[in-house]
Chains A and B, each alone.
Chain A
Amino acid sequence: MFFWLTLCRAAMAAPDSDSVAVEVEVRAPDETVQMTTAAVTVVAVDDRVPPSSDLSTLVSRTAGTSVRRLGGVGAWTTLSIRGSSARQVDVFIDGVPLNPDGLITVNLAELPLRTFERVEIYRGFTPVWLGSSAIGGAINLVSAERPKGQAALSAGSLTTSRASASGALDLGNGLAWMSVEALGTRGDFSFFDDRGTAFNTGDDVWLQRANNDRRQGSVHASYQSGPWRVLTAASFREEGIPGVQYGPYSGVRWSTARDLTVGSWQHQAGAWSHRASVWGLLRQEYLSDPLGEVALVATGDRSRMTAAGAIYTTSFAASPRVVWSQAVHLGIAGWQQDLQASNDPSQQRLSASTTGGLTLRDPGEFFQVSPVVKVGRIADRRGREPMNAVSPRISVLWAFSRTWALSGNAGLYLRPPDLLELYGNQGVFVGNSVLSAERGRQGDVGVRGVGSKHELSVVAFANDVFDQIVWLQNAQGLARPSNLAHARTLGTELASAWRPGSFDLRFTGTRNWAVQIVDDTADLPIPGVPEWELHTDVRWQRKNLTLGHRVDYTFGSYLDAQGFFGTPPRTVHAVSAALTDGALCLQFELLNALNQIVESTDRDPLVDDGVQVDRAVTDFFGYPLPGRTVLLPLRYQP
């Protein structure tokens, strides 16, 4: 242990020390950087990804994204892309939606990162084959075609343990592959509690988070034979809901089970390529609230979401300069609730969409333009008129040198309300069946370049959302969605990488100007979208030793929609080390190394008296974040 701590101190003290950094490449799959029109970041999930990383931490360090956590390793997280709401981001596994039209927000923490080969984060414009018109963007988790076998064990603070293993087996006529992962943590970290009395510091106490434990497991398995492939991705998660620190829950438990099964076929013949998939998605959630702490009444709410669909994508390269792509998505989603009190416990939705696009290049392939249009129709079983939607968008790219390119995207986007928003009756969430769809328009323009030892991307973007669906609380704490806000986010994103010698230096920065425009009169902030978000990753590698240092800096975020409670600048350090000996790799990671769990803020943000008091560091009101956390993973990769 002393050895590792010594390494860490050295890493923190020495400005030229190295780190285990997240691999960030401004490169889309199967395309060169010069010919990618989308604003996309592709992160390889390899041994350079810190062992503690889950999908949310990986994504949070990319440009244009903001992640908010309820606290602790594996805790529930939401993702915002360019100031979007979490529901305005589509999440896919190998191009198959995890939150298709009608279903709800995906919890990024429940997805086993190590199962995937890479993560593609599309900001705004998404490629035709995803068939998405999400206002914020999309995340596509990509499984490896020839996965490597590996096993890992990890133990750390707060009784946190993680185990994972994956392996592939060549069966002669096909390749079978399986990956399993399990995580458990007690999550009982210490936090600062001011007891909600900013004017009375005499009653401040330190407490331990309770009912914050969680266990989750996942199994991903696939079998591929020639053009055919079957994939199943299942996960289970059970956790305590600790509640806000001023009114903690002692008995609220939440469990989720999900399975996505996909069968696909792909074929390439000359200028044509085809891919067809059928998929089924089952998600079951159970909220146990025996003491009525959440919904005021004792409940045991079970909801089941089932969805199935088919996807057909094709492309035809008429010439190197003209490529036509088409994606057709058909889906049916159902939602059923077993409630103690519900007046409309089940709903079904049919959806169909087709997305078509052309890619046109000039003879020299310096200039490229890609018009895309998505046409869709959604019909609920009862209660609402069917809705038709057209979402056109266009992207252009000018590769003005071998290493530099300019790109731009613009489009109109649309999100129909999901079934929870329309018909929900889940704990404190009550639906509103007369909601309108969210409509958005967005555009970006950027420049990027790549060389042998450096990469750089800078993008400026604008994002407008009308009829934004906002959950409003009433006096009893029940929340009901309404079309209220006009949300506008302007911003810039910067991502860079430089690899001098044994060093690997990465930097991403995002600046947002995110506001809600209510009744065309008042500009209110969008909670959880920081004005500044900067991330640095420094990695140094020599022979079998790798040292790393990460810094996450955020500034200017608000916890509430009124803009009362702003968070002060927050700098969180993490250090790591890895020692490799053949197939074995022993790692060490120290999260929140400086144990930043208390921050000084204005005693009352509406009172200009200059008095500051301590409050717990949070992303959400009343949900403190954990302090220094140590993890020790051991990995075997033959």
Chain B
Amino acid sequence: MSLLLTLLIGCTPPDHSPPEADCDAQAPLIALATTDFTVGALAAYDLTAGCLSDQIATTSGDPALVADADRLFLLNRQGGDVIRELNPSDLTVPLWEVALADLVNPHDLIVVDDELWVTQYDQAELVRLDGVTGAEVGALDLSEYADADGIPEMDGLIRHQDRGILALQRFDQGLDWEPTPGGLLVIELSDAQVMVDLDIGLSPRVFERPSTPGSIAVLTGTYGQADGGLWFMDVDSGTLESQITEEEAGVDFGHYAEINGVGVLTATHFDAQISQASAWCFSDGNLTLATEQAVWFTDVVAGPDYAWLSVRRGWDGVGAEWGLQAIAVSSCSLHGPLIPTTLEPYSLAFFP
């Protein structure tokens, strides 16, 4: 009997506890939301010490990070519907956390005085939260700017002085997510009035241009189609200027970040079955290839010296490595080795 008990209980199970962090990352840092799309974890790369704090705290499987006005937020998006304000000096425990309504799918937010304005991808209301507690204090109904399904699919939101620039992607969910022409709204933040309503190409995404005050970058186009391009928008005049189209570039644009006047674009192959991602530098109307790999670049952000890429494996998930990768825009090339993370990164934010 003792032999049987030994067989049953005598061995030590494997330890599944997470690896010890190799540093306590402090600002300035690149915050990473890593995920396998079932569960996720926060990580942070300390730009001064050059070390990574990995698996700091859990997130949902669809996380996004937003840094705005010296504050850092985590959005648990589809199926999560939760917003956390993170403490940049201690990412383990949020300052506060609040659940939105089920299935609203928060995509972005900006800080507006003592409020947070949150875009909800699957609702027609832009929700306003108390900036300290997260409690809902109001909403801005944007259903009149929606397509036929009544939902405008609001995505990115950028603050420029006293205005907010909001991207409406306008997929018709009633017609198998058929893309319809997207729009840009310029909203007066003081009275929550829409000042400008611009039509633009399919599925617009908006990005800041820190090197060019008063201007933002807009990417348009649906995944796998040569139907979009890069635009710069003058916020004050509300005018758009086309920079380069996906057809001209020969790739499908994904994300944009700008550092020292140079834009960094991520892109994918037009054939969705081919896992081939690229990153490009855009300057003076010219694209220069920085890297091309059999991976998936899910985000890019600008740090003080380099642009940073979120590198995931492609669809088949075999062979490629993943992590955080720096790009030197001066030479438009990779800088330093890939910084591996345990889970694959998905969303990045730079916190100064």
A contact residues vs B (CB 8 Å cutoff): 195-200, 203, 244, 246-248, 292-293, 296-298, 340-341, 432, 434, 447, 458, 460, 472-475, 477, 480, 482-484, 490, 492, 494, 509, 511, 513, 515, 522-525, 531, 556, 558, 560-566, 604-607, 609, 621
Q: B4 interface residue, CB < 8 Å from A?
A: yes
B60 and A511 form a contact (CB under 8 A): no
Q: In the bound complex, what is the Cα–Cα distance between A340 and B176 (angstroms)?
A: 9
B38 and A473 form a contact (CB under 8 A): yes
A251 to chain B, nearest CB (A): 12
Q: In the bound complex, what is the Cα–Cα distance between A480 and B116 (angstroms)?
A: 36
B16 and A524 form a contact (CB under 8 A): yes
List the B side residues contacting A247 at CB < 8 Å.
Answer: 78-79, 81, 102-103
Of the listed stretches B211-219, B276-284, B315-323, chain A binds B315-323
B103 and A482 form a contact (CB under 8 A): no
A-B contact pairs, 19 of them (CB 8 A): A196-B76, A199-B84, A199-B96, A297-B176, A297-B177, A447-B4, A458-B4, A460-B7, A473-B37, A473-B61, A475-B62, A482-B316, A522-B342, A523-B16, A558-B16, A563-B16, A563-B18, A607-B92, A609-B93
List the B side residues contacting A480 at CB < 8 Å.
Answer: 315
List the B side residues contacting A604 at CB < 8 Å.
Answer: 57-58, 92-93
List the B side residues contacting A606 at CB < 8 Å.
Answer: 18, 41, 55-58, 92
Q: In the bound complex, what is the Cα–Cα distance between A208 and B78 (angstroms)?
A: 22
A296 and B317 form a contact (CB under 8 A): no
The B contact surface, by secondary structure, is loop
A492 and B38 form a contact (CB under 8 A): no
B346 and A560 form a contact (CB under 8 A): no
B contact residues vs A (CB 8 Å cutoff): 4, 7-9, 11, 13-14, 16-18, 36-39, 41, 55-58, 60-62, 76, 78-82, 84, 92-94, 96-99, 102-103, 173-174, 176-177, 298, 315-318, 342-343, 346
Q: Which of A196, A297, A523 contacts B82 (CB 8 A)?
A: A196
- Sample of 7 further A-B pairs with CB below 8 A, known A605-B58, A606-B56: A200-B96, A247-B79, A474-B315, A475-B62, A494-B4, A513-B11, A563-B17
Q: In the bound complex, what is the Cα–Cα distance between A325 and B95 (angstroms)?
A: 69
B79 and A484 form a contact (CB under 8 A): no
Q: Which of A203, A509, A561, A609 contacts B8 (CB 8 A)?
A: A509
Q: In the bound complex, what is the Cα–Cα distance between A484 and B78 (angstroms)?
A: 26
Q: In the bound complex, what is the Cα–Cα distance between A566 and B99 (angstroms)?
A: 23
Q: In the bound complex, what is the Cα–Cα distance between A247 and B96 (angstroms)?
A: 21
A564 to chain B, nearest CB (A): 5
B13 and A556 form a contact (CB under 8 A): yes
B317 and A482 form a contact (CB under 8 A): yes
A531 and B13 form a contact (CB under 8 A): yes
Which of A297, A340, A341 has the largest count of B CB atoms less than 10 A from its CB? Answer: A297
Closest to A556 in B: B13
List the B side residues contacting A199 at CB < 8 Å.
Answer: 84, 93-94, 96-97
Closest to A195 in B: B99
Closest to A194 in B: B99
Q: In the bound complex, what is the Cα–Cα distance between A324 and B93 (angstroms)?
A: 66
Q: In the bound complex, what is the Cα–Cα distance between A524 and B18 (angstroms)?
A: 10
List the B side residues contacting A558 at CB < 8 Å.
Answer: 16
The answer to whether A511 and B318 touch (CB under 8 A), given A200-B98, A475-B62, A606-B55, is no
Closest to B100 in A: A195
The answer to whether A513 and B81 touch (CB under 8 A), given A492-B7, A564-B58, is no
Give the 6 A-B residue pairs with the shortest CB-CB distance, closest first.
A563-B16, A473-B37, A195-B99, A199-B97, A247-B79, A297-B176
